[in-house]
């Protein structure tokens, strides 16, 4: 059967570069799992310490543990966002694949800004800014994938209700705003103030999701 008109043109445009969404989901799961695992590599205590040295080294690891916990929670939320968006995808065209890969590449890089955050986050605003930019970029790429899929009926499994679409856009936009606020506070007030801002991001996402 041959389709004509706008839908037929869309099929002709999207079919050559189309990929199965299952492959993107599997790749996403693998990369996020690796990124989450790499986070813990920064948490370690040297061998051969005496009792006093051990306690001192353990106290010094608290920032690394805090950064690990924060990044693990953030990556888990981003992974869930990715899965939820890809759930709507029937076939991924070239642009969707490239945007998804860019987001996964940034997620794989997150252990680096996490290490900066644990080492310099309490005193260097740039460490907080680097971390925030990475999270904001991932969220913006997720948003770009979602918008692309919603505007291309041939790419998605089924129509996306307006209310659900608004909830996704609002949720991802809120993450970007939290990132921007953390950067402003890190430079204008203190790096610690920027870090505290991140405590608002996860409950804010849950609240928006429940409303949507």
Query: pLDDT tens for residues 99-158?
Result: 999 999 999 999 999 999 988 988 899 999 999 999 999 999 999 999 999 999 999 999
- Local structure of residue 21 (DSSP, 8 states): H
Looking at residue 202, what is its pLDDT?
67
Query: Residue 190: inside a domain, yes or no?
Result: yes
Checking if the pLDDT of 14 tops 50, the result is no
Prediction pTM value: 0.84
d(CA 32, CA 78): 9
- Read off the pLDDT band of 18 (50, 70, 90): low
The values of phi and psi at residue 16, to 5°, are -60, -35
CB 11 within 8 Å of CB 154? yes
Query: Residue 6: inside a domain, yes or no?
Result: no
Query: Residue 5: inside a domain, yes or no?
Result: no
Query: Residue 150: inside a domain, yes or no?
Result: yes
Query: Residue 7: inside a domain, yes or no?
Result: no
Buried-exposed string 95-116: b where 16+ CB fall within 10 A, e elsewhere: bbbebbebbbebbeebbebbbb
Domain span including residue 133: 18-211
CB 108 within 8 Å of CB 31? yes
Query: Residue 179: inside a domain, yes or no?
Result: yes
């Amino acid at each position: 059967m041959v389709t004509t008109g706008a839908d037929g043109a869309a099929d002709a445009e999207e079919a050559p570069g189309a990929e199965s969404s299952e492959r993107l989901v599997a790749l996403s799961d693998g990369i996020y799992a690796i990124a989450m695992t790499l986070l813990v590599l920064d948490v370690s205590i040297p061998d051969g310490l005496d009792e006093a040295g051990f306690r001192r080294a353990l106290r010094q690891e608290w920032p690394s543990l805090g950064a690990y916990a924060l990044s693990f929670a953030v990556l888990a939320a981003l992974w869930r966002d990715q899965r939820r968006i890809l759930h709507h995808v029937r076939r991924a065209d070239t642009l969707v694949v490239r945007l998804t890969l860019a987001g996964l590449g940034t997620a794989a890089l997150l252990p680096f800004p996490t290490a900066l955050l644990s080492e310099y986050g309490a005193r260097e605003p740039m460490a907080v800014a680097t971390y925030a930019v990475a999270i904001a970029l991932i969220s913006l790429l997720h948003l770009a994938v979602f918008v692309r899929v919603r505007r291309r009926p041939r790419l998605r499994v089924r129509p996306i209700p307006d209310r659900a679409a608004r909830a996704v856009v609002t949720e991802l936009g809120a993450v970007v705003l939290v990132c921007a606020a953390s950067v402003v506070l890190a430079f204008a007030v203190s790096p610690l103030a920027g870090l505290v801002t991140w405590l608002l991001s996860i409950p804010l996402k849950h609240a928006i999701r429940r409303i949507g």
